[in-house]
A and B are shown apart, each in its own frame.
Chain A
C-alpha cells in the first residue's frame, strides 16, 4: 500500500477531446437517433470524463495503491471471514463461455453452466445437512430476507391448509381453497424471535419481510437465555413464525443449548432460521440441519472464499429442510428423475415461475400463486463458479479441516492476548474471539485507538464495537489460511500497542500516523452531505 494519498478524482483529469475507447465504424447508418422526437432526448450531454486510456489505467492503479486487501496483509476482521481468495477461481470465473453466457440461453445449450449451479446446490445441501438450496440471493442480507419469505410462505400455506380443513369439515365446497384472496390473516404467525446479541441485519430483514421482532435476552456469557425464550414462547404461542440464530453466536461462542432451543421453537410451531454468517467455524464438525435448523443462508463470500470486492458482489444461497422445497424462489435448476431405460443422467432443467396471465398482482403461494422471486435471473453466477471451484479444490478431505483450523487459530490468539486485552468470557471460542478493550483502562486508550494504531503497523483492524454486549468490543477472526508466523507477528504488535498505551497514550490516541489519510471528520460528512463531484463543485 502506498502510504501517501493519491487523492485525485477522474473528473479532474478530464480534458475535452480525449478518448479511451475505439469502436468499429462500419455499420448501417440508415437510422440514427436524430430521428427521435425532441421530447424523448436528453437536453445536455452527460458530463462524463474525457480521458485517454493510459490516464485511466494510471488513475485506477494509483487508487488501488491506497487500498488494503487480504493479499496485502492480515485482515482479522471479525464476523467477516476474510479468507484467502484463490487466484485459480478468478481464472475459472473469467472463462469466456461463462462470462459471455446470456441467462436466457436455452437450457439444452448450456448444460455445463447449469451443472455448476446444480452441483453447488447439492454440495451446499450436504455441507449444511439440509434438503435443497436456491442460489438466487445476491448477499447474506438478501439470503436472510429470502429465507424469512420462505418461512412466511410456509406459514401462509399452513394457515390456508387449516382454513381449508375447517371449511371441509363444515361441508363447504373445497373450491374455496382456490381463493385468490389470501392475506396475512390466514397466518397469525408474524413474530420472529431474535437474540439481543444478534447482528442488526437480522431484525432489519425481519422488518422488511413484514415480521415483528421480539428480542430474546442473553445471559451474562452471551448465550441465549433459554428461560426467557420459554417464557416468550408461552406468551406468544401460535404467533411465532420463527427464531433466528447465529451459531456460533456473535461472540464466537457455540450455543450449548441449541438442540433444546430448536426443539422448543418447533414445539411452538415456529421454524428455526440459521444465519450462516459464522458457518466457517463448523465446517467439518457440525451441520445446521443436524442441530434442528429448518432454513438457513450461507455467505459464499465468507465460508467459500469468494472475494468480498470492497463490499460485493457476494452470494447468499438459502437452504431448507425437506418439506419446504416448494417455497423456494424461482427460477430453479432441477434434474428430473432419470429415466432408467436410458443411459446417463437426465438433462438439467430451468424451471421458471408459473406464468402470470392475469394483469394484476397475484398472491405468491398456494396452488394458483406465482411463486417467490428475488432477482431477475439466477443470482450472482460468477460468484458461484468461484465457490464451486473452491469446494472442488478442497475436496472431502480438506473441507473438514476448515472449521478446526480456523478455530485453533482463534483460540490461540485468545489465549495469547488475554494478558493485555480483557477477555470477558472464559472457555472455548470458535472461529473468532472477542475482547472488551485493554485490560488497563486507566490510560484512556479505547478500542478505536487500538484499531487505528494497528493500521500503522500494516494490519487491517479487527471488527470494533460489535457485538454490542460490551462497551469496547474488539473482535478478531483469523481464518484457517493464516500461518502461525503471521499470527505471532500480529500478537506481538497487539502487545506492543498495549505497551504504547501505557508509555505514550497520545501516540495511540492520535493514530493512525502512517496511512494515506488520518482520522476523518464523520460529522462534517453527515451534516451537509456531499455525495457527488457536482455537489462538491457548487460548495
Chain B
C-alpha cells in the first residue's frame, strides 16, 4: 500500500465483511453506470519523495525561476521576517487544526486570533477587527458591500482612482454582481481630485467613499474633511491602508474612517508569488454587527477561567444563510498567526524602525535616480512613503529587461513611460547603489 494509506489486505477484508460488500468498488453501486469513471486518470505516475524533491528543485533552478533582488511593490512587499515566525507557523497544532469550533481544544488558535484582532485594531486606530479575510482586495470589496448594505437611500459608492487598479477590479467585479453602482473619482497629479469628490458628495446619495493610504503610487494623500462630509449623508468612509506604514502614518481611525481594510502581507508574510497573504478589516464599535467574517471574543468557561470563543455568529452564513452579512465562512488564520508573531517580535519600536528604514531607503534611491538625469518625478511635489513613480523617456521595457539580466526586479511598469519602485528595509545600500548604476548606464 501507499505511504498515506494504512489499509493492509487483512484490514480491507475485515472491513469489507462488516460493511457487507465484496470490494471497495461495490461501495459505489448506487452511482449510475453512466456517471462511473472507468479509465485511468491521465496523470503522471507516483513520484517517490526523492523524485518529488528533484522535480521541484528543477523548477526552482535559476534557469526556470530566477531569484531577483526585489524593488517591486504594487501590493506585495519584500520585508524582513524574523526566523521565529516561520518556525512557529510550522507547529502542527496550529498548522493542522480546523476552524476553532471546539473552543475547549482550540484555545491556542482562539488566543492568537484575539491577539491579532487587538493588534490590528491598535495599528489602524479602530475599535474592533475581525479574525482576518482572504486578502486586501476582497476585504475592500466586502467593505464596499458593507457600505451599500448599511445605506438606506443611497444611489452609489464612490471609489478613488488612486486605489490599486487590481483592487479596484475586484471591487468592480463584486459590485457588478451584487448590484452596487460604483463611481470612480478621478485622480489629479497622482492624488484624489478633491474637487471632483466634493462635487459628488454635494449631490448626495453616497453610501460610502473608498480611498487608499499611501495610495497605489506610494503617495500619502491628505484626506482631511472627507469623513465628516461622508458622515453627513450617513455614508461610510473606508480607508485601505498598508499596515506596515501605520507605525508612523496617521491611522484610518484618525482620518475618521468607519472601516479600515488592507493587505497584511507586509507584516511578516513571504511574497510566495502573491499568496497566501491576509486581508484585514477593522471598524467602529457601531458597525460590529454589520462586519463580515469571523470574530473572536472573550468570555468565561464553566470553571471561571478567562477563555476565548468564536462570537457574534448570528451574522454568519451557517445561521443566516442568504441573509448573512457575507458568504465568508473562514479566515486566513495561519496568515493572521504570521502577523501576530511578527508584531510580537517587532513590537512598538521594531515596526517603527522598519517603516523608518523603508522610508529612508526609498528616498535615497529616489534622489539618486533623479540625480542621474534620466528620470523625472511622475507626480512632482507629492510626498511618498516607500514607493514612488518615475518617468523614463527611453525604452522602459528594454531597461527593465537589462535590470533583470543583472539580477534585479527594478520595479513595476505602471504606464508607458512610468516605472514604480518600492524599497523596504531589506535593500542594502550596495543594492541601491548597484541598481542606480545599472539604470544609469543602460542605453535604451
- Apart from A40-B250, A313-B335: 17 A-B pairs, beta carbons within 8 A: A10-B344, A23-B80, A49-B343, A53-B345, A64-B94, A101-B65, A102-B78, A104-B76, A105-B68, A138-B276, A208-B327, A258-B35, A373-B170, A377-B76, A382-B270, A455-B104, A534-B122
Q: B326 contacts which of A111, A204, A313 (Cβ < 8 Å)? A: A204
- The reply to whether the CB of A407 lies closer than 8 angstroms to some CB of chain B is yes
B421 CB-CB contact with A under 8 Å: no
The reply on A338 being an interface residue by CB < 8 A is no
* Chain A residues within 8 Å of B274, by CB: 102-103, 376-379, 381
- A182-230 interface with B by 8 A CB criterion: 184, 199-201, 203-210, 213
A-B contact count (CB 8 A): 700
Does A201 lie within 8 Å of B298, measured CB to CB?
no
24 contacts between A and B (CB under 8 A): A7-B305, A9-B114, A28-B429, A43-B250, A48-B119, A64-B108, A72-B96, A106-B404, A152-B177, A200-B317, A258-B32, A258-B35, A286-B35, A308-B98, A310-B95, A313-B334, A361-B183, A372-B173, A375-B137, A392-B55, A404-B27, A411-B19, A518-B303, A529-B312
Determine the interface band of chain B, counting residues with CB < 8 A from chain A.
35 or more
B116 to chain A, nearest CB (A): 10
Which stretch from A78-86, A162-170, A435-443, A500-508 is at the chain B interface?
Answer: A78-86
B residues within 8 A CB of A525?
A: 297-299, 309, 311
Q: Which residue of A lies closest to B83 (CB)?
A: A53
Interface string of B112-155 (1 = CB under 8 A from A): 10110111011101011101101111100000010000000000
Question: Closest CB of chain A to B402's CB: distance in Å?
Answer: 12
Say if the beta carbon of A428 comes within 8 Å of chain B.
yes
Known contacts A144-B327, A210-B178, A532-B118; decide if A373 and B334 are in contact (CB<8 Å): no
Residues of B within 8 A of A106 (CB): 400, 404
List CB contacts (< 8 Å) of A422-436 with chain B.
427-428, 430
Q: Which residues of A contact B122 (CB under 8 A)?
A: 46-48, 532, 534
Binds A, one of B45-53, B199-207, B369-377: B45-53
Report yes or no: B173 in contact with A149, Cβ–Cβ below 8 A. yes
Question: Which of B52, B82, B167, B297 has a CB less than 8 Å from the CB of A393?
Answer: B52
**Nearest chain B CB to A378's CB is how many angstroms away?**
5
- Do B65 and A111 touch (CB < 8 A)? yes
Q: Once bound together, how far apart are the Cα atoms of A123 and B44, in whole Å?
A: 9
Give every chain B residue within 8 A of A533 (Cβ-Cβ). 114-115, 118
Asked whether any CB of chain A lies closer than 8 Å to the CB of B175, the reply is yes
B-binding segment of A92-100, A173-181, A265-273, A318-326? A92-100
**Is A32 interfacial (CB 8 A cutoff)?**
yes
A237 within 8 Å of B by Cβ? no
Contact of B98 among A7, A9, A310, A529 (CB under 8 A): A310
A28 with B65, Cβ < 8 A, contacts A23-B80, A141-B328 known: no
The docked-state distance in angstroms from the alpha carbon of A213 to that of B327 is: 13
* B35–A373 CB distance below 8 A: no
Q: Write the nearest CB–CB distance from A234 to chain B, whole angstroms.
A: 23
Hey, what's the 0/1 contact readout for B17-44 against A, CB within 8 Å counting as 1?
A: 0111100110111111011110011111
Is B441 among interface residues, defined by CB-CB distance under 8 A?
no
Do B272 and A101 have beta carbons less than 8 Å apart?
A: yes
B173 touches A373 (CB 8 A): yes
Q: Which residues of B contact A377 (CB under 8 A)?
A: 75-76, 166, 273-275
Interface centre among B56, B254, B318, B409 (most CB of A within 10 A): B56
C-alpha spacing A509/B359, complex, angstroms: 59
Instruction: Tell me the nearest residue of chain B to A363, going by C-beta.
Output: B176
A343 touches B (CB below 8 Å): no
Residue B434 is within 8 A (CB to CB) of chain A in the complex:
no
Say yes or no: is B394 at the interface (Cβ < 8 Å to chain A): no
Q: B residues within 8 A CB of A520?
A: 103-104, 299-302, 307, 309
Contacts known (A141-B329, A313-B276); A77 close to B98, Cβ less than 8 A: yes
Is A337 interfacial (CB 8 A cutoff)?
no
Across the interface, which residues of B come within 8 angstroms of A100, CB to CB? Answer: 67, 70, 78, 270-271
Mask, A291-313, CB within 8 Å of B = 1, is 10000000000000001111111
A93 to B86, CA, bound (A): 12
**Knowing A26-B429, A80-B98, A213-B322 touch, does A515 contact B178 (C-beta < 8 A)?**
no
The CA of A76 and the CA of B127, in the complex, are separated in Å by: 37
Q: Are B118 and A534 in contact (CB under 8 A)?
A: yes
- What 0/1 readout, one digit per residue, does chain B (99-110) give for beta carbons within 8 Å of chain A? 110111111110
Residue B236 at the chain A interface, CB threshold 8 Å: no
B35–A210 touching, CB < 8 Å: no
A445 within 8 A of B: no
Contact of B359 among A33, A111, A407 (CB under 8 A): A33
The answer to whether A53 touches B343 (Cβ under 8 A) is no
Please name the residue on chain A nearest to B136 by beta carbon: A376
Candidates B2, B58, B173, B359; contact of A31 at CB < 8 Å: B359
Question: Are B321 and A204 touching (Cβ within 8 A)?
Answer: yes
When the two chains form the complex, which single residue of A99, A115, A529 contacts B295, counting CB atoms closer than 8 Å?
A: A529
Residues of chain A contacted by B316 (CB below 8 angstroms): 200
Once bound together, how far apart are the Cα atoms of A46 and B246, in whole Å? 8
A4 to chain B: closest CB distance in Å? 10
B360→A32 contact, CB < 8 A? yes
> What separation, in Å, do the CA atoms of A446 and B84 have in the docked complex?
43
- Contacting residue for A10 out of B24, B115, B299, B327, CB 8 A: B115
Residues of A within 8 A of B92 (CB): 69-72, 85
Cα distance A123–B42 in the bound complex, in angstroms: 8
Bound-state CA distance A301–B310 (Å) is 21
Chain B residues whose CB sits within 8 angstroms of the CB of A7 once the complex forms:
107, 111, 305-306
Chain A contacts for B70, CB-based, 8 A: 100, 102
A61 touches B88 (CB 8 A): yes
Question: Would you call B197 an interface residue if the criterion is a C-beta within 8 Å of the partner chain's C-beta atoms?
Answer: no
B248 close to A42 (CB less than 8 A): yes
Provide the residues of chain A in CB contact with B103, threshold 8 Å. 517, 520
Q: Complex formed: what's the CA distance from A14 to B29 in Å?
A: 61
Q: Cβ of A41 < 8 Å from any Cβ of B?
A: yes
Contact B320–A370 (Cβ < 8 Å): no
How far in angstroms is the closest Cβ of chain B from A48?
Answer: 5
**Mask of B59-71 contacts with A, CB within 8 angstroms, 1/0:** 1110011111010
Considering the chains assembled together, what is the distance between the CA atoms of A6 and B115 in angstroms? Answer: 15
What distance in Å separates the Cβ of B422 from its nearest Cβ neighbour in chain A? 10
**Chain A residues, CB < 8 A from B60:** 95-98, 112
Complex contacts, A6 vs chain B, CB 8 Å: 107
Which residues of chain B have C-beta atoms less than 8 A from A209's C-beta? Answer: 177-178
Chain A residues with CB under 8 Å of B389's CB are none
Whether the Cβ atoms of B44 and A392 lie closer than 8 Å is: yes
A190 to chain B, nearest CB (A): 10
Q: Are A455 and B7 in contact (CB under 8 A)?
A: no
Q: Complex formed: what's the CA distance from A430 to B30 in Å?
A: 10
Nearest chain-A residue to B334 (Cβ)?
A309
Instruction: State whether B318 touches A521 (Cβ < 8 A).
Output: no
B210 interfacial contact with A, CB 8 Å:
no
Give the residue of A113, A140, A411, A482 whose beta carbon is less than 8 angstroms from that of B6.
Answer: A482
Q: Does residue A484 face the partner (Cβ distance < 8 Å to B)?
A: yes
Contact of A59 among B55, B172, B344 (CB under 8 A): B344
Q: How far is the CA of A284 from the CA of B274 in the complex (A)?
A: 32
Q: Taking CB as reference atom, which chain B residue is nearest A126?
A: B42
Which residues of A, 111-144, contact B by the 8 Å Cβ criterion? Answer: 111-113, 115-116, 123, 126-127, 129, 138-142, 144
Query: Shortest Cβ distance from B88 into chain A, in angstroms?
Result: 5
CB distance from A265 to the nearest CB of B (A): 16
Q: Does the CB pair A397–B93 fall under 8 Å? A: no
Q: How far is the CA of A329 from the CA of B108 in the complex (A)?
A: 36
Are A204 and B327 closer than 8 Å at their CB atoms?
yes
Does A208 contact B326, Cβ atoms closer than 8 Å?
yes
Which of B16, B20, B76, B298 lies in contact with A103, CB distance below 8 A? B76
Least distance between B71 CB and chain A CB atoms (Å): 9
Interface residues of A in 23-70 (CB under 8 A from B): 23-24, 26-33, 36-37, 39-43, 45-51, 53, 56-57, 59-61, 63-70
